[in-house]
Amino acid sequence: MASYAQEKPVATGVPVEVPMVPWSTGLCGCFDDCSNCCMTCWCPCITFGQTSEIIDRGSSSCGTNGALYALIGVLTGCSWIFSCTYRTKFRQLYNLEGSGCTDCLTHFCCTSCALCQEYRELKNKGFDVPLGWQGNVARGTVDVVTAPPPAYGAMNR
């Protein structure tokens, strides 16, 4: 009887480039979701808090990030610096088109449009953004990898 050995793939060390994906909505599509547009125009810290909690996969809270965003904005007027870092994380998480430079320019020139676009993008990816990370996990929107239960040794007499 002949045995056939399967060839295992050999790692070459050459990274495989994954093509960038375009954003599902345009930067100026704010009025596609009027309620979010109004919320973002009058209180951007809420929209930022909601989206950043999901981008961080629940490791930060909506309230903390929103308050920090508002505090930075009140004290320095430069909350866009904080929010552009989350746009970069978001793009990298979903392999969206853009660069760190365009993220900063987008948030510097039109923070409200950028926040609305990020909110809509999460919504289009199936998230119910106001529920936050934990709410979406409970709802089943998010696939969460959990650790297997601990293995116990065999029963001995």
Q: Where are the domains of the chain?
A: 30-139
- Mean pLDDT over each residue of the chain, to the nearest integer: 87
* pLDDT band at residue 156 under the 50/70/90 scheme: low
The whole-number average pLDDT for the span 92-120 is: 96
42: CB partners within 8 A, 6+ apart: none
Query: pLDDT for 118-149, tens place per residue?
Result: 999 999 999 999 999 999 999 887 765 444 44
Q: Is 155 helix (H, G, I), strand (E, B) or coil?
A: coil
CA–CA–CA angle 56, 110, 41 (5° rounding): 80
What pLDDT does residue 31 have?
87
Query: pLDDT for 20-56, tens place per residue?
Result: 999 999 999 888 899 999 999 999 999 999 999 999 9
pLDDT at 105 over 50: yes
Altogether, the residues listed in the chain come to a count of: 157
What pLDDT does residue 2 have?
54
